[in-house]
Structure 1
Amino acid sequence: MTATGLGDGVDTLFAVPPEHRLDDVDRASAKQILACDDRTLSMLLDRGLPASGAPGAEHFDSRDLFNLALYSGTGTTVPEQAFAYSLRWMRSSTEELLAPRASRFELRVACAAGTCGPRPTSVLAVPRPERSGGAVDDLTIDPADGGPDGDGGDTVVRAAPGLAVAATVHTRGEQAQLRSPELRAITAEFAAMNLRWVKLPEAMQEDVELITTRGVASCASASRYLAQLCDRAGVPAVTRIGWVVGMLDLVHAWVEVEDDDGATKVIDPIFALFSATVPGTNPLLRDPAVALCTNRLVPTGLSVGRTVAEHRCAGEPTAARVTTKILPAPKRPQETP
């Protein structure tokens, strides 16, 4: 079963193009990721799995291995099991997806180099859950003299090697029917495309053409695509980025639309694709007529194309070390009468 599923998966794999490849996984690690033996890995190479290096000492792109494993249908690979675990909340009842939630949020950025360059500047986005009916408590910025960088407080900046933002974030979900016929047609069209979410190189994550030409999408490209369809139909829409509590890749993207009833509603195209990989998920996640904003979303004030964390040395972007933690907030002791 494992060999058959992986073999069929190679035939439908969207391989990372050569100009974006990063062969960062050796043969032994590839077998662990795919949960396969040496003979099966050789079979995958024969069927076209991209690799570099001499026979028996090949190296693979980790994104190719992840995407191949995720859609293999074996249930034994590391990506399948990790996805099933991190997305188990999608099996929650509607009440659980909408209920108020409190999380302790911490975001840090620092220069990834051993020695930071001159005039360092770190920029972070701050959580804005009030956009979806939530709130922020105890917001702290470290160092304390870090402050708004001029775009309405959506990010903070500090000319220092590192920066941290911490807060208690309160979120809640919201479920609403889509009223606009145009919106309902757009979401139904997207659902019928049977796209696959895949891990992509950063330079390709916003490539909308991959949706129509290759049938694959990232959360950024899917959100851009839906926003473009809304724009053509005359429906006000913006893309949004933020975080998802409990997801493997914490930075996420979705679309906020203005419906015919005047309400701003969340359309999350990728959650529907995610839920298709996990048995027993809540059907509302895949209903194109429903705008479902779960209590797992932590918005920023930023759109697709922006970044939640950035570091610069000498005025130029440089590699950043980013740490994100979103954990359940400690419960407060019950007050005694």
Structure 2
Amino acid sequence: MNDIDTRSATAATALVPTPVEYVDVVDDQWAQGQLRCSSEELANLAGSVLPRYSGGFDQYDVLNAGLLGGSGRSRSELEMLLYARALRNYGGDWLSPQSFAVRVQANCLSTSCTSDQWQPPPFVGVRWNDSETAQGRAAWSGRLELTGRSGKVVDERIHRVWAQLMANYRFQLTPLPVSVDTTLTRARGVGDCQAISLLLLEELRMLGVAGEFRAGYLFGGRRCINHYWIEVTDTDGRIKTLDPAMAMLSSRFFDDRYAAFCFGSRVNKLIELATPDGTYAGHPCPRRDRRGFLLVELMPERPASQRSA
């Protein structure tokens, strides 16, 4: 069995196709660009991994085939590998304060937008010092300090639910309507960071554990990854961060130490949003959905001791 066949078999074992009612078809060229593969390799995947629809493949099936395939070159994998590299930087320090220059861009979903009114992104702790707004687009820049928080979970209920989640579910990218439906997540056994976090929160609340759903971005290279996790109040009275998606991905992209860290601790590469829907900028466009999707970029700032005089 050759290399691409081996990867195909691995992905086929793991991939749970998108439910047909949520399929969003992309063409072969888009799929090749995401997987960074040849037309021959794509044809091989189509025969063993990817369900084919009229006109191409479902975009989430393509993204998951890349994430699970093990080629090391798909865009889904490279995003995780960049984050893994960020985790290794600064000697693998996940707690100490780190300063960043932040730039956020937003574009209206309407190509004929005439509104130049925008609300700044609701990022916790960002000091905005500049903004540019125009018809259909906007940009903000500022500074941000991110600090990690160490925590050890005490509550045995949380331990039990976490262990069950890790044993019975796997990470997989999903469309938004699937991500927010915990019934579907239970039935499929897979979910993205939003789906898995919502399921974990639901299970813990049923046991009487107080918790909140959180949204934000992970710094993994210049462009940030939008992300979801939860925070719970432990029996010692302290707030603990639970990041089940990153824990699930640790065996493939990170390591056991980071998987354990995700159970109670908060990494210093996490930007929190004031509201769960803060991945969009408020924008009173009369033509389309009154939101603009955010593109977030961070640039680490060197400590003062390393700057030239």
The alignment's TM-score, normalised by the length of structure 1, stands at 0.77
In the alignment, what sits opposite 1:99? 96
Distance 1:140 1:291 in 2: 33
Match 1:69 to one of 60, 66, 73: 66
Choose the corresponding residue for 1:226, options 200, 208, 212.
200
Question: What amino acid is aligned across from residue 286 of structure 1 in structure 2?
Answer: A
Question: Structure 2: which 5+ runs fail to align?
Answer: none
In structure 2, what is the Cα distance between the partners aligned to 1:284 and 1:268? 13
RMSD: 3.2
- Per-residue Cα deviation, 1:264-313 (whole angstroms, up to 9, x for no partner): 1211111102212215x2x332228941101011112213x554424342
Out of 123, 126, 136, the position equivalent to 1:127 is 123
Please say if 1:299 is aligned against 2:299.
no
Question: Which runs of no fewer than 5 residues in structure 1 stay unpaired?
Answer: 130-135, 144-157
> Is 1:111 aligned with 2:108?
yes
Q: Which amino acid aligns with 1:224?
A: L
Counterpart AA for 1:291: G
The sequence identity of aligned pairs, in percent, is 22
Deviates more, 1:225-234 or 1:70-79: 70-79
Aligned to 1:79: 76
Q: How many residues get paired?
A: 305
Q: 1:277 to 1:324 in 2, by over 3 A?
A: same
Q: Name the aligned partner's letter for residue 10 of structure 1.
A: A
Q: d(CA) in 2 for partners of 1:220 and 1:276?
A: 19
Q: Distance in 2 between matches of 1:39 and 1:21?
A: 24
Q: 1:260 maps to what in 2?
A: 235
Shift, 1:97, TM fit: 0.8
d(CA) in 1 for partners of 2:135 and 2:30?
Answer: 38
Match of 1:278 among 249, 253, 256: 253
1:117-136 superposed Cα distances (whole Å, 9 cap, x missing partner): 4x66534433214xxxxxx4
TM-score, normalised to structure 2, is 0.83
**Alignment check: 8 A CA contact 1:141 1:163 kept:** no
Quick one: which of 318, 328, 331 aligns to 2:300?
328
Structure with the higher helix share, 1 or 2: 2
Structure 2: how far apart are the matches of 1:114 and 1:84?
34
Q: 1:328, CA displacement in angstroms?
A: 0.8
Residue of structure 2 equivalent to 1:30: 31
- 3-state SS in 2 of match to 1:293: coil
Letter of the structure 1 residue corresponding to residue 141 of structure 2: A
Which residue of structure 2 lines up, in the alignment, with residue 140 of structure 1?
A: 129
Structure 1 residue 309 corresponds to structure 2 residue 281: yes
